Homo-oligomer: A and B are copies of this chain.
Amino acid sequence: MNEAIKVGVIGLGTVGQGVLRLLKDNADEITRRVGRPLRVTYASVRDPNKPRDCDLSGVTTVADPMQIARDADVDLIVEAIGGISPARELIETAVGRGISVVTANKALIAEDGNRIFDAARQTGASVAFEAAVAGGIPVIKAVREGLAGNRVERLAGIINGTCNYILTQMQEKGTSFDEALRDAQRLGYAEADPTFDIEGMDSAHKLTILASIAFGVPLDYASVSVEGITKVTPQDIQIAQVFGYRIKLLGIAKRHATGVELCVHPTLVSEKAMIAKVDGVLNSVVVHGNAVGEVGFYGRGAGGDATASAVVADLCDLARTLGVDARHAVPPLAFQPEAVQPLPVMAMADVPSAFYLRLLVADEPGVLSKLTTILAAHDISVEAILQREPHGEDDATVALITSVIPQHRFDHALTEMRALPFVREDAARLRVEKFE
């Protein structure tokens, strides 16, 4: 039962390298979750001399990917070369001999998924593709399983980080589309030939997949109406803002009385909507189910590590079905029962945090100096401070935010501050938490 699950990785580009890194770096966590280690035993590389950002020790590298698909002694295969051919032939060969495949290949799934799934069904193999849509956001799983009780009425998403970065730049800096695109290319967010992203085809591939799992319709890329972002002007972004809107490239799948709407186009969304606030290279998908209402997801939609996160999640799902009783495929607490282990829970006094402090003080000279001297003596920096003049009373309000420090250090300083004759009883101390 604790034998390693052998994984073959076809293609060692950004995604393939990310998968190897992740399986190595998080080996302990993954084994605790799955119950068996996942080990890459084979990898195919086009150029064996190219330097790679992953450890290939213990991995047999081959030049011909078909060798892995057809012959290699592996339990699961990751297809990470992208494109339609030979990726399709490789996957069909692998599932043909009963080996399940994980892929991040949205073009292939959107265009040829129906036949690939049929091929897999013949042998009982699976083809998993969480990484094909919205990178690391587990949106396929959420819609397919987490919202399985719902009739999905609408699904809409920012599913191309390149376009979202360009539109965000145009919004924030007032730059033209061309300038923003060059900027994205310089930062590596857009390819040298950006057509596929900026003309909306990449979003359309992802929308095709999302629509299928939302509505239970066959994959049908050709039926999606597509409009890219090349004609969006700074002027329109600016006028939309005056109306209280942002312009985002959305993929939309929606039920109507007479059929479904499937489209990708630049769209005005109210600045108050959560999806309007998803900026830069982030992706976001919003699903409206008839029971759950609106549920939203956001996160990194691209990049080797975020994509590898989704690939490895699929590997874990498939690994759990190899030789284990289906009922126990996913343990209740995510980790195998024998791997659930306590960790020391820190006393709050030891937990580092930035702190917000509000004090009521007598309005007299030297107050700020005495307070800040105490903070300095405890090696606490002040990140922001505000003093308000008293209105009608003799007391003034001082509020500040500190650097990140263990709570006990802050509390010692607070005790000293409270002992100062000019500090009143009323005070508030709250923690500050940072997010990306």
| Interface check A12, CB cutoff 8 A | no
| Interface check A290, CB cutoff 8 A | yes
Interface size class of A (residues with CB under 8 A): 35 or more
| Interface check A216, CB cutoff 8 A | yes
Are A313 and B145 touching (Cβ within 8 A)? Answer: yes
Of the listed stretches A42-50, A52-60, A239-247, A368-376, name the one at the interface; the rest are far from the partner chain. A239-247
Nearest Cβ on chain B to A304's Cβ, whole angstroms: 9
Of the listed stretches A84-92, A198-206, A315-323, A412-420, name the one at the interface; the rest are far from the partner chain. A315-323
Nearest B residue to A311, CB-CB: B149
* A269→B356 CA distance, assembly (Å): 11
Q: Find the residue from A242, A243, A268, A433 having the highest chain B CB count within 10 A.
A: A433
Q: Mark A212-251, 1 if CB is under 8 A from B, else 0.
A: 1111111110010100000111011001101101010010
- Interface of A, secondary structure class, is mixed
- Set of chain B residues within 8 Å of A435, measured between Cβ atoms: 156, 269-270, 273-275, 286, 294
Query: Which residues of A are at the interface with B, using a C-beta cutoff of 8 A?
Result: 18, 22-23, 25-26, 29-30, 32-34, 100, 113, 117-118, 120-121, 124-130, 135-138, 141-151, 156, 212-220, 223, 225, 231-233, 235-236, 239-240, 242-243, 245, 247, 250, 252, 256, 258-263, 265-270, 273-275, 277-278, 286, 288-300, 305-306, 308-313, 315-317, 321, 324-330, 332-335, 337, 339-346, 348, 350-352, 356, 358, 384, 386, 397, 399, 401, 428, 430-436
Apart from A26-B150, A33-B216, what are 18 other A-B pairs with CB-CB below 8 Å? A25-B290, A124-B328, A145-B334, A147-B309, A216-B341, A239-B397, A259-B344, A262-B345, A265-B431, A268-B401, A268-B433, A291-B306, A292-B310, A293-B299, A293-B306, A296-B298, A297-B297, A321-B326
